[in-house]
Amino acid sequence: MGRIMLVLIMSVLVVGQAEARTWHVDKDGSGDFTVIQDAVDAASPGDTIRIHAGRYEEMVEDFDMWGDGSFLANPHIAVTKDNLSFIGDGSDVTIVGPVARPTDPPSLYSGLCVTDVYASGTRISDLAVESTNYGLILASITAEVNSVRFQGTIDGIRDIAPGACVIDWCEFRDCGTGVKSHSPAANLSIRNSEFTECGTAYLGSGTTNAIIEDCTAMDTHSGFNIQQGSSAVLRRVVLQGYVATGLGISSGATVEVYDSTFQGGITGIYSYGESLWCERTRISGQTAHLVYVNSNGETVLQNCDLISGGGVSVECRYNGSSDCHVTMTNCYWGTESEEQIAEWIIDSEDHPERCCTVDFIPFRSESTPAEAHSWSSVKGLFESGGEE
């Protein structure tokens, strides 16, 4: 009986594999379809849709996102089948969206739209989304987004996926915000991605267990914004040339930062958060504050480089009734003078009405070794497409 059951199971698996199909979409008519949505409509769950070189501007009008008429979207691709894979010929040649964003775009205008009403998961790779309000509206349970370029959008990816969304080797250029998430988003992972001339990531209230690692941002107007009740870990993140704040942490948020670099801007880290733990990170060149703290939560920066750009190195603003301490021991401040470091710190020693004190002794007399990549080495990773 056991052998018969095994044969039956294997037969089902083979049939299931045989049923999965690859559909080809090609502008020149050589594929199965010339319009992507036609391939989606013909596909079965688990199929792959290969989108060959070309610009695809066809739109799905009044797509019923939640199946109840409450929200009608206007995407270029409405994902209506489960576990589809969309694979382009490369983000430089397969392009979804127009050359320029419409001056009066329709409601919820997006490149792709996927919700858990129609699909629990989807995979998107090797294409570009240009000139839409939202590059990808993602509300399926899981998603994998790999080697996709989002350019000229308000938000590159808008994520409310409650399972896991993995964004890997993507580019965000000239976007309002690269990745924006909202509750119930959980287990969001942004890896090996590059942000240029846009906001990086905005993790809205209730975004839990986010991981951002091996990412770079250049000439952005803002860095990472972690909102109320959210939790995130940043590893080997490099931000250079940003305008405002490298890392903003709102009330109730918990954030860990390791082996990262925040260079330039007005403020390096601005925290109202419940908890900030930062190690082996370089914060330098800010014009106002390297670190600004207005919280009685746990704030720890250890073995970091804190190099003033002309403004205040650290300011503690919290005026609550209980004493709190910001731990910044074993850090390098660009000087061996304890008196100079104390002058760069504004806390309860300067304003007795504030209850927050910075503990900076002992401090280092030389730079802290870090694992973070330099900007040039990280750029080399993107150019080669590999890892060190």
pLDDT at 151 over 50: yes
pLDDT digits (tens, 9 = 90+) for 192-241: 999 999 999 999 999 999 999 999 999 988 899 999 999 999 999 999 98
Average pLDDT, the chain: 89
Confidence of residue 370 (pLDDT cuts 50, 70, 90): low
Entry field: residues in the chain: 388
Q: According to the model, what pLDDT value does residue 371 have?
A: 56
Burial of 93 (0-12, 13-18, 19+ CB in 10 A): middle
The helix (H) or strand (E) run that includes residue 380 is: helix 375-384
344 near 319, Cβ under 8 Å? no
Give the span between the Cα atoms of 156 and 365, in whole angstroms.
Answer: 43
Q: According to the model, what pLDDT value does residue 319 have?
A: 73
- Type of residue found at 362: P
Give the span between the Cα atoms of 262 and 325, in whole angstroms.
Answer: 23
What backbone phi and psi angles, to 5 degrees, belong to 11? -65, -40
pLDDT digits (tens, 9 = 90+) for 299-339: 999 999 999 988 899 999 887 666 788 999 999 999 999 99
- Type of residue found at 379: K
Question: What tokens does 237 get?
Answer: 């993140």
Q: According to the model, what pLDDT value does residue 375 have?
A: 41
Give the span between the Cα atoms of 231 and 211, in whole angstroms.
Answer: 9
**Whole-model pTM above 0.85?**
yes
Give one word for 187, left, alpha or beta, with left for phi > 0 and alpha for psi -120 to 50: left
pLDDT digits (tens, 9 = 90+) for 56-113: 999 999 999 999 999 999 999 999 999 999 999 999 999 999 999 999 999 899 999 9
One-character DSSP codes across 7-32? HHHHHHHHHHHHH--EEEE-TTS-SS
Of the candidates 141, 187, 146, 154, which has an alpha carbon nearest to the alpha carbon of residue 170?
146
pLDDT digits (tens, 9 = 90+) for 252-310: 999 999 999 999 999 999 999 899 999 999 999 999 999 999 988 899 999 999 999 88
| Report for 142-146, 162-166, 204-208: range of highest mean pLDDT | 142-146
| 3-state SS track over 223-284 | CEEECCCCEEEEECCEEECCCCEEEEECCCCEEEEECCEEECCCEEEEECCCEEEEECCEEE
pLDDT at 130 over 50: yes
- Pairing type for strands 94-96 and 72-79 reads unpaired
